[in-house]
Structure 1
């Protein structure tokens, strides 16, 4: 059978775009009068193309490929130095809104942008709408300037705003994507709902082109709630910025959308885009989702957007205020939540982790100003940067896992949760900056005792190290079964696992864990190791006492 070269697309990858093109051609043929969509697009876009959207997408993709080094490591980009850690670290807040945590994060935001941003750009328009106006009479109305400079510049400014006004470290273009949604929503609510739904089509087609056939199997892996990590505050910030800009354009053009349609579109979009997913920490690996409060928030935002966008220029009689219009009140109403967000964000982002101690008792790996270590039950210096207790919740939370600290970049973060390291066994933590990166290896080994916990240890491997550095050992793990009135413990210490046997008189005997297919005797108990399993035998009784952790 003839095999095609690996670089050639598969028949399915060729068939998908051909089928799309044929389907669109058929619809174009059926639509009458032909050419009206082209005329509409050319009336708002230079050559009928949303150049600002394409320029923005290319810019974000360039950051991922070249700044985050995604071209060399598509699935493992450099992320730590490109999050908005603090106002004292400009590189972070300059790049945070345009960087991404991985390919899935990037594709999700770019597909949303490709689906919604053209509608927002259509509302903005490359051509001024006044009759008889010469678009080339000034640089402000020049369609090429508006397409290639003004719209991308607006995207950049909104991106910086979502970074500077974030409540703590953020990374990703989603805030800007929500701004596109908010801007388009106030003028085209139904079309915006359709566009947001269409981004799922765009994403599915992309995945079909990239991987026409996918394989999967059952297994166990580390997972967190789907809503953990959703930057609801950042999404709401982007939405309000987009709505405010859109409302100002409506006022200037003296356009007034339908209030019910706008409210309905805002509710549908807020729910479908998970703007209701308000959550917080509840312990080290537990989180609480305020679903009811989130739905109330979405409904309130929809009412505010509808009221502001449909306000007219008539005067209002308000106590202590004279000569104020409904539109001015609408603008102030949209500015209030933005002011509240800024009031929280500014003190949070002005804080510094300079002088914060590196957690953990064991040695860490230092490279390029970063310190990578492992610790458990330590105070999260970033979440707890401002000590607040409200409605039974607190910012004073603890964390466990691989911790990365860099005072120069104001970085203090749990980069790998404890449970994820336990599931993976071994992984790498990428640190770096503009133009460089290094990987620090982390591995965990452990023994799970019968009817009991797991005893484990953690090692680190620096980029220039020949071997592994032991950094953490857990408490001993006591097996549930007793053997001849004796208790068995697995004791981790100094990179070695020991077996300890104690009796009623509290006398202890220890011996190193036997190697594979070997045995060791402690008093009357004989321990036999078969691959990952450890058995104990005494007085003719033999049972499994411990199992080595399985690495996925």
Structure 2
């Protein structure tokens, strides 16, 4: 039965309600009209054109370069991350590409909320005494709105790609630069703008799905903080603060009170998880340095407050102003110094994993392997505080030596949960999909035995991996029962093996549904997806076929 709270009527009601609300506000404020006059004073026709041009470009990259138009929820990502200085395409497009629709939506809505505040700080019209609009190209409001501001966004994006530690993908570095830039002049206004981001995103989601009905279900998830590019966010933030200080100094404006700047910085840095410092710890295990992250955020708020406040020429001398600027430059210099050796990397050897069988898609190799060194994380092996940069990884791995790509795109746990996953590879102008599939059996109390296959979109399945055997806990007629991946998985992927100590007593193909096989006086019967072992009148369950979500 259709609900009155779903479909086009409610989708129309949302924008109509928004327009009506804004009209009421405009009517109440009409006697003085200060807010609209302020917008027209700083913006061409009162519109933040530079923000809109930048967002349009980012969305265009997702739709047409990453092939998001064809596969909205599964764009090509491996070709458009900043893997290395030796891969210029990734360095240029990484800051403007995204890993998926949620990633894109979060960055775009946040940018629409806070970037206009940063653009308002810059303005489309000259503010120095004696300067007039259209007096030169630098004072031309059309160029400032449609060229200069978007060009500045592009430069900041390239800086986040060049000087962040390790590969990045996403516009969030530029977003944090907007935030740092706006905080210098409007600290509490930035807090309010970021709060508005939640409203923008909620309205968008309401237009997409006005009615949501959902029940409890199993899911596979990593920690929420896994994958946050804190180093890229921090770099963008410092770039924005430095740019904001330069504009402040150029225009010789009064600075906000110290308490206001400190409060705004602390609230923004905490709410945007700049404290979420994390690292890998083995296969699918990660560590969050929450305490250290809070200390970092407090130091960040203090540093920004000092740098901004000392730019007040009426309260502090030139020496204090220079000290404040230098202190903010120090983190940028340190990050750039670390980034150079980290990002000037190459895939070790030919990037392939010894013993692994993969499929070839043009210049990409897609393979499955377990407990192999991550050849991109462990560029330089460093151990600090018990943590190390040399870690092992397991899952579906994508290798492209020419593009400096070596990345695990699907974890072992994700494939075990879903049973089947798709990996998109490609480049500018082309994209293809490789499917990964896992079939396995769980031995009662003894883990799982499984096989993994890979298949390009235009070809058949190819066997890629066989796990170790899994031994069930029950002992049957004095023998252990194991599920063993078969040597020839095309006929029957698994066998039953009976062992006495280290000696193999018997081996039989795993029975098909509702079939019984016998070995050494033991009858093995498969009932649907469960295998039972029977000796005389005793029957025990020894294995169950894996089920996936």
Equivalent-residue separation in structure 2 for 1:338 and 1:394 (angstroms):
24
RMSD: 2.0
1:164-313 matches, cutoff 5 A = 164-255=162-253, 256-312=255-311
Instruction: Give the TM-score normalised by structure 1.
Output: 0.95
Equivalent-residue separation in structure 2 for 1:283 and 1:3 (angstroms):
48
- Residue of structure 1 equivalent to 2:413: 419
Assess if the C-alpha contact under 8 Å between 1:189 and 1:266 holds in 2. yes
Decide which moves more: 212-221 or 440-449.
212-221
- Residue of structure 1 equivalent to 2:454: 460
- Residue of structure 1 equivalent to 2:463: 470
- Residue of structure 1 equivalent to 2:112: 114
Alpha carbons of 1:315 and 1:379: their partners in 2 closer, same or farther (altered >3 Å)? farther
> How far does the alpha carbon of each residue in 1:287-342 deviate from its partner, in whole angstroms, 9 at most, with x for none?
1101110011011111111111111477999xxxxx96222222211111001111
Equivalent-residue separation in structure 1 for 2:504 and 2:39 (angstroms):
86
Assess if the C-alpha contact under 8 Å between 2:410 and 2:421 holds in 1. no
> How far does the alpha carbon of each residue in 1:12-58 deviate from its partner, in whole angstroms, 9 at most, with x for none?
10011111111122222223534221110000000000000000000
1:139-178 matches, cutoff 5 A = 139-178=137-176
- Residue of structure 2 equivalent to 1:320: none
Alpha carbons of 1:9 and 1:130: their partners in 2 closer, same or farther (altered >3 Å)? farther
Instruction: Give the TM-score normalised by structure 2.
Output: 0.96
- Residue of structure 2 equivalent to 1:542: 539
Equivalent-residue separation in structure 2 for 1:504 and 1:281 (angstroms):
38
Assess if the C-alpha contact under 8 Å between 1:519 and 1:528 holds in 2. yes
Equivalent-residue separation in structure 1 for 2:502 and 2:38 (angstroms):
90
| Structure 2 unaligned regions, length at least 5 | none
Equivalent-residue separation in structure 2 for 1:140 and 1:362 (angstroms):
58
What is the Cα deviation at residue 243 of structure 1? Answer: 0.5
Assess if the C-alpha contact under 8 Å between 1:314 and 1:326 holds in 2. no
- Residue of structure 1 equivalent to 2:484: 491
- Return structure 1 stretches of 4+ with deviation > 6 angstroms: 1-4, 313-317
| Structure 1 unaligned regions, length at least 5 | 318-322
What is the Cα deviation at residue 3 of structure 1? Answer: 12
Alpha carbons of 1:340 and 1:491: their partners in 2 closer, same or farther (altered >3 Å)? same
Equivalent-residue separation in structure 2 for 1:457 and 1:358 (angstroms):
20
What is the Cα deviation at residue 129 of structure 1? Answer: 1.8
What is the Cα deviation at residue 2 of structure 1? Answer: 11
Q: Among 499, 503, 509, which residue is 1:502 paired with? A: 499
Equivalent-residue separation in structure 2 for 1:157 and 1:132 (angstroms):
29
Decide which moves more: 123-132 or 382-391.
123-132
Assess if the C-alpha contact under 8 Å between 1:360 and 1:374 holds in 2. no
Equivalent-residue separation in structure 2 for 1:13 and 1:249 (angstroms):
42
Aligned pairs, number:
543
Would you say 1:378 and 2:356 are equivalent positions? Answer: no
